[in-house]
Amino acid sequence: MQQLLLIAVRNLGTHKRRTLLLGGAIAGVTALLVILMGLSNGMKDTMLRSATTLVTGHVNVAGFYKVTAGQSAPVVTSYPKLLEQLRKEVPELDFSVQRTRGWVKLVSESGSVQTGIGGIDVAAETGIRKVLQLREGRLEDLAQPNTLLLFDEQAKRLEVKVGDSVTLSASTMRGISNTVDVRVVAIAANVGMLSSFNVLVPNATLRALYQLREDSTGALMLHLKDMSAIPSVQARLYKRLPELGYQVLEHDPRAFFMKFQTVNREAWTGQKLDITNWEDEISFIKWTVSAMDALTGVLIFVLLIIIAVGIMNTLWIAIRERTREIGTLRAIGMQRWYVLVMFLLEALVLGLLGTTVGALVGMGVCLLINAVDPSVPVPVQLFILSDKLHLIVKPGSVMRAIAFITLCTTFISLIPSFLAARMKPITAMHHIG
């Protein structure tokens, strides 16, 4: 076997032009695959980090409260007691966040917008500083009462800047219109779709607007140490919370704001909890990630077809050029199996070298892009939930890419190698190439 490997390496070295051409093509495909995987992983990570910091936890225990049968509000009552029980029931918990939720009309001197609103305890949520990029103001000022954080898009529509006042207008749970004047203390860069229907205020401000008690909130967002535990945690809570005396809605894999019509049609009043996960709350991200994976798969498939045709043609040419050599080897006693292995080893070595070089080039390009830290156009920001592009290269994915393309290269060479092994020695020796 060692002798056959040396022959394969020698043949690759003898035909340098052909080796460089085909090896370069394999390296190019591998580099493109590594870059696409880095882009896909980076976009997934950016979207998940932004979304799970701003609007959802890994698992959410939210709820609907109904004073009358036909009108519901996104409220969880007596949340400190519920949070204490959740901490006992979910040992996988890393940290939790409580957010009041609502839908308000923002009114400035120049205009108004309808938007979702979230209450936040900015002193307790250190992670949000890693996601929001401030254009004006200070995030720490959001700890002061009656303050507001806007995103660029909303600030432009309202024509306000830091220090200006805006009025929040909404209906309470009992259907009474209420308003609260707030001061803009920070304007953040847009975070894709999330910045189109989301502003932040202190939890106390939102409770005052909706006239909620101090122990009421909108959702308890549970962030787990390991996201793979989400299904088991969700299933456990569906079983344990009713045993602890809570009424729980049947699982509905939609964001909470899409469930109001369904909940309002039901006859019950009082409190019911709703357990969701991040995929339920931001299903559009799952669609985007699936679309990216599908696009990557199609591109790789097309590239592999091109490489397959190239390898087969190149091996056909190599076999034609070396027909008399094959005949001589067969005449001096080389078995057909050895001829087959010799060509397969040639393809294996070529594939391994090409994919290794390609992987290194691909990783270098990813590192270079991260070093440049490029901004992306607004339409792309809507999907990746960030104004910056960041690529992530996972060593395991790179190794799998190298192994996959090398094996494909070797497998593709089976047909021409098999035909070379079947040549009769006398026919091959009299061949005129």
Q: What is the 3-state secondary structure (H, E, C) of 255-320?
A: CHHHCHHHHHHCCCCEEEEEEEEHHHHCHHHHHHHHHHHHHHHHHHHHHHHHHHHHHHHHHHHHHH
The per-residue pLDDT for range 234-253, each reduced to its tens digit, is 999 999 999 999 999 988 88
DSSP state of 124: T
pLDDT for 426: 64
327, pLDDT greater than 80: no
Average pLDDT, the chain: 83
Rounded CA gap, 1 and 315, in Å? 20
The per-residue pLDDT for range 93-106, each reduced to its tens digit, is 998 999 998 899 99
pLDDT band at 181, cuts 50/70/90? very high
The stretch 407-415 carries a mean pLDDT of 78
The per-residue pLDDT for range 244-283, each reduced to its tens digit, is 999 999 888 888 888 888 888 888 889 999 999 988 887 7
Other beta carbons within 10 angstroms of residue 66's beta carbon come to: 20
Contact present, 164 and 183 (Cβ < 8 Å):
yes
Q: What percent of the chain lies above the pLDDT cut of 70? A: 89
The stretch 45-64 carries a mean pLDDT of 84
pLDDT for 427: 66
- Which whole-number Å values give the CA distances from 333 to 5, 180, 327, 408, in the listed order? 18, 94, 10, 30
Lowest-pLDDT choice from 51-55, 197-201, 261-265, 335-339: 335-339
321, pLDDT greater than 60: yes
144, pLDDT greater than 80: yes
397, pLDDT greater than 90: no
List, in sequence order, every residue forming a beta bridge with 342; answer none if it has no partner: none
pLDDT for 285: 67
pLDDT for 231: 92
pLDDT for 33: 84
428, pLDDT greater than 70: no
pLDDT band at 303, cuts 50/70/90? confident
82, pLDDT greater than 60: yes
pLDDT for 153: 84
The per-residue pLDDT for range 126-142, each reduced to its tens digit, is 778 777 878 889 888 99
Helices (H), 55-78: none
Rounded CA gap, 361 and 341, in Å? 30
Rounded CA gap, 209 and 215, in Å? 15
379 vs 58, residue with greater confidence:
58
14, pLDDT greater than 90: no
80, pLDDT greater than 70: yes
- Which whole-number Å values give the CA distances from 121 to 142, 205, 355, in the listed order? 8, 11, 49
Q: With residue 25 as reference, give the H or E element that holds it.
A: helix 16-54
What number of residues does the chain have? 433
Delimit the domains of the chain by residue range.
1-50+284-430, 57-281
**What is the full DSSP assignment across 338-383?**
HHHHHHHHHHHHHHHHHHHHHHHHHHHHHHHHHHH--B--HHHHHH
pLDDT for 122: 85
Both structure tokens of 340? 């087959």
What predicted TM-score, i.e. pTM, was given to this entire model? 0.68
pLDDT for 376: 74
- Name which of 397, 295, 402, 405 is nearest 37 in CA terms: 397
pLDDT for 93: 92
- Name which of 290, 289, 405 is nearest 42 in CA terms: 289
365 vs 300, residue with greater confidence:
365
432, pLDDT greater than 60: no
pLDDT band at 203, cuts 50/70/90? very high
pLDDT for 419: 72
pLDDT band at 173, cuts 50/70/90? confident
Contact present, 330 and 411 (Cβ < 8 Å):
no
